[in-house]
Amino acid sequence: MQNLGIAITGSGSAVPTTSLDNQALTKLVDTSDEWITTRTGIRQRHVANPQESLSAIATAAAKQALEMALLKPEDVDLIVLATSTPDDLFGSACRIQAELGAKRAVAFDLTAACSGFVFGLVTAAQYIRTGVFQNVLLIGADILSRWVDWQDRRTCVLFGDGAGAVVLQANQSDRLLGFELKSDGTQNGSLNLPYNASGRELTPGIEIAQGTYQPITMNGKEVYRFAVQKVPEIIDKALFRANLSVEQVDWLVLHQANQRILDAVADRLKIPQQKVISNLACYGNTSAASIPLALDEAVRQGKIKPDDVIAASGFGAGLTWGAAIFQWGR
Ligand code: ACO
């Protein structure tokens, strides 16, 4: 009988070489290490230099995940790249496919901002559950430093660049225990990286719009309120679908946006701090990369062990939010 369950069998991560600490940011904007640390928990972030690309860091993360899963690139059936900052607006997944030598793999990008990893996980899982694919590589990667307004102290202190990846494989027992996804476009204006164009007349009477994307704008307070309310709710719902209680969660792996959000969500769910994975002090908010980056570090540190129950939740622009409950390993 065909295996239609899902197991997450490998993880990997990579960040650009250059790191930028809070002190360095005080040279750019009117801020302080104390403000950034107490309001966000972030101490430094990594930023990509002009020679580094999204596909390169994503490929590095993917290689590690494949190695851990004991898979060769040719074994991969599907590559899903969750990103909002591709090297190419037509998508970067195919370049990663080529760089990996994953010749058989279908590859495409998926955009759901900071929820991209969780949305990607659920998307990838559907292909396995329907028996279409056996081995899926899911990558979350973003280079938000390209789109941050480095003059805006309300946003530039928050973000960092990075990539994380996991391998999902068809498995006899299903380790994806429950999930829930949500979107609310009425709050779209809270967090944007908008395309701004001006009209250009091509021929008399025919006008098109050309321009470029504008730096990130965010209503920090709105996004904070949204996250603290919606994330506990959606984790509860995903746990209900998994038929598990909150006490059965071994690790809470949230989108690493802000330590205060992590603390408030854990508090509301009554999950003790020692079960909360946090590495945002070193990386800042790496958008679609943040969950797999935190997951991979915790796996490699031996914190997350086979069979552990993980509650992961992403939230961000769209607005979008989602949660997935899964067990690590086969
Ligand atoms: N340094 C010093 N002062 C600052 C800075 C800074 N970097 N940024 C803002 N301030 C000032 C403000 O100008 C304001 O001053 P004012 O009162 O004189 O006007 C004061 O600090 C307070 O500003 P607030 O915006 O009220 O600060 P708040 O306590 O809300 O913290 C923060 C701001 C950290 C952005 C918070 O709102 C937050 O974490 N929001 C969630 C944002 C988030 O996580 N977004 C990402 C999720 S989605 C995604 O990942 C894409």
Tell me the per-residue pLDDT of 102-144, one tens digit each, with 9 for 90 and over.
Answer: 999 999 999 999 999 999 999 999 999 999 999 999 999 999 9
> What is the rounded (10 degree) CA torsion for 27, 31, 33, 34?
160
* Residues 15, 286: Cα–Cα separation, whole Å: 10
User: What's the 318 CA to ligand 1 centre distance in angstroms?
Assistant: 19
Show the tokens assigned to 215: 């730096």
Is 221 a pocket residue for ligand 1 (Cβ < 6 Å)? yes
Mutate to test the pocket of ligand 1, among 35, 39, 85, 225 (most ligand atoms within 8 A of CB): 39
- Reference 52, options 82, 14, 80; nearest CA is 14
CA of 223 to the centre of ligand 1 (A): 10
Give the pair of three-digit tokens for residue 142: 């973003």
Q: Quick check: CB of 286 below 6 Å from ligand 1?
A: no
Region 173-186: mean pLDDT is 97
> What's the CATH fold of domain 5-174?
Peroxisomal Thiolase; Chain A, domain 1 (3.40.47)
pLDDT surpassing 80 at residue 316: yes
Tell me how crowded residue 222 is: count the other CB atoms within 10 A of its CB: 14
What is the percent of the chain where pLDDT is above 90? 99
What pLDDT is stored for residue 125 in this prediction? 97
Average pLDDT along the chain: 97
- For the stretch 75-108, pLDDT in tens is 999 999 999 999 999 999 999 999 999 999 999 9
Q: Which residues, at least 6 apart from 126, have a Cβ–Cβ distance to it below 8 Å?
A: none
Shortest-distance atom of ligand 1 to CA 316: 48
Give the count of alpha carbons within 13 A of 8, CB side only. 29
Amino acid in the structure at residue 265? V
Residue type at 319? L
Positions marked active-site: 114, 255, 285
Ligand 1 within 6 A of 279 CB?
no
Our answer on whether the CB atom of 257 is closer than 6 Å to any ligand 1 atom is yes
pTM here is 0.96
Cβ burial of 60 (10 Å; 0-12, 13-18, 19+) is: middle
Q: Any idea how long the chain is?
A: 330
Ligand 1 centre from 166 Cα, in Å?
32
Superfamily of domain 178-185+217-327: Thiolase/Chalcone synthase (3.40.47.10)
Please work out whether the CB of residue 85 comes within 6 Å of at least one atom of ligand 1: no
Cβ atoms of 290 and 85 closer than 8 Å = no
Cα–Cα distance measured from residue 127 to residue 70, given in angstroms and rounded to the nearest whole number: 21
Radius of gyration of the chain (CA): 19
Return the ligand 1 atom nearest residue 221 CA: 37
Q: Which residue has the tokens 């067990």?
A: 327
Residues of the chain with CATH 3.40.47.10: 5-174, 178-185+217-327
Distance 209 CA to ligand 1 centre (A): 33
CA distances for 120 relative to 10, 108, 138, angstroms: 16, 11, 7
Number of C-beta neighbours around residue 82 at 10 A? 33
Instruction: State residue 150's pLDDT score.
Output: 97
C-alpha span between 107 and 104 (Å, rounded):
10
The whole-angstrom separation of Cα 208 and Cα 197 is 9
In this structure, the strands spanning 320-327 and 176-183 are antiparallel
State which of 29, 224, 254 you would mutate to test the pocket of ligand 1, scoring each by most atoms of that ligand within 8 A of its C-beta.
Answer: 224
Average pLDDT rounded to a whole number, residues 145-149: 97
Cα gap 319→45, rounded to integer Å: 24
Q: Is the pLDDT of residue 1 over 80?
A: no
